[in-house]
Amino acid sequence: MRVSNNPSVIICTTQLSRSFRKIAALRAIDLSIQRGEIFGLVGPDGAGKTTMLRLLAAVMTPTAGQVTVVGHDSVKDAEKIRGQVGYMPQRFSLYGDLSVQENLQFYADIFGVHGPERQRRFEQVLSFAHMSDIPDRRAKQLSGGMQKKLGLACTLIHRPDVLLLDEPTTGVDPVSRREFWDLLTELHLQGTTIVVSTPYMDEAERCNRIGLLFKGELIECGTPREIKALVQGQVVEFHPDRLEVARAVLSHQPGVLEVQVYGTLLHVFVEDATVVWPRLQTVLGEAEVKVDNVRLIHPRMEEAFISLIRRQVG
């Protein structure tokens, strides 16, 4: 198996596969992640995102293939990788009866942070997470967003080169999500490599590159702009007064590539809007569907994600 010798590559997988009994969770993944980038993993539930992060964190061994992180093999040098990686699973194990400070002390003990440096690290991560004024508050008394920040602070206590975050903002409010991503941006600017899985397409937009996983395969990888450019045709957005009728009428019309529903709006992917849309308006009129607020829009990450997945399904 060939491993990248490029010093700018901090994570490299070669034909990486993982199966659970007869079920393949990941299939022959070839991926290189550059030092200092934010790399996003997106995909539907069951796509293999969590398995991928566990393999990168060296807490799970591959069925086949190879993982190297910071130059270390995930099987031969698992302990070395764990010392240089901060891994925050979906259910990060904070101890609710312990205070913020005591949780940090617990993780400092796990990662062997001792001596004069220990208190300095506590102060740094508490300041970074904006929790310096609540070191004695019990973790169970924190809001969901604050618990996520404490989890991140615990993950950072040993100053890892790589952060692996599994849907870290799931279940928190939009303001807390934004604040959490502000912290990730600070870490990115300091040179930390971040690999994050997320179900939120607005978060995927903030990554340098994105890998789209589907049924254990890496089907696309690129910058947000490159991923969105893969969407075929143009997108016409409008509000029909009879949503289901409009979708049914348009789905099989010539020149229509795809129809997506967004609340009360329809997004119709067409080959050429100037040619196709006038004819579609006529078809909608014949079906007694009234339309408002028609406009041509640029595909967002969400449209691209749905379109690429549907293309895989067939």
The string of pLDDT tens digits covering residues 20-64 is: 988 999 999 999 999 999 999 999 888 999 999 999 999 999 999
Statement: residue 179 has pLDDT above 50:
yes
Helix-then-strand count for the chain, H and E: 11, 14
Q: Give the count of domains, the chain.
A: 2
| pTM score | 0.88
Domain that holds residue 60: 9-224
Which of 172, 204, 224 is a domain's end point? 224
* Calpha distance 273→254 (Å, rounded): 12
Decide if 145 is inside a domain: yes
Structure confidence by residue, pLDDT tens digits, 191-224: 999 999 998 999 999 999 999 999 999 999 999 9
Which of 197, 224, 251 is a domain's end point? 224
Binned at pLDDT 50, 70 and 90, residue 99 comes out as very high
Structure confidence by residue, pLDDT tens digits, 263-276: 899 999 998 899 99
Amino acid present at 62: P
Q: Are the beta carbons of 303 and 231 closer than 8 angstroms?
A: yes
Q: Give the CATH number for residue 283.
A: 3.30.70.100
Statement: residue 1 has pLDDT above 50:
no
- Sheet hosting strand 9-20, strand order edge to edge: 23-34, 9-20, 64-69, 72-73
Four-point Cα dihedral 151, 152, 158, 161, nearest 10: 140
Residue 63 and residue 173 share a domain: yes
Residue 209 and residue 241 share a domain: no
Tokens of 287: 């079906």
Residue 36 and residue 176 share a domain: yes
* Calpha distance 281→96 (Å, rounded): 58
Structure confidence by residue, pLDDT tens digits, 120-130: 999 999 999 99
* Calpha distance 235→256 (Å, rounded): 10
For residue 259, report the phi and psi dihedrals to the nearest 5 degrees. Answer: -130, 125
Decide if 309 is inside a domain: no
Residue 273 and residue 178 share a domain: no
Residue 205 and residue 280 share a domain: no
What pLDDT is recorded for position 2?
Answer: 41
Decide if 197 is inside a domain: yes
Binned at pLDDT 50, 70 and 90, residue 117 comes out as confident
What pLDDT is recorded for position 247?
Answer: 94
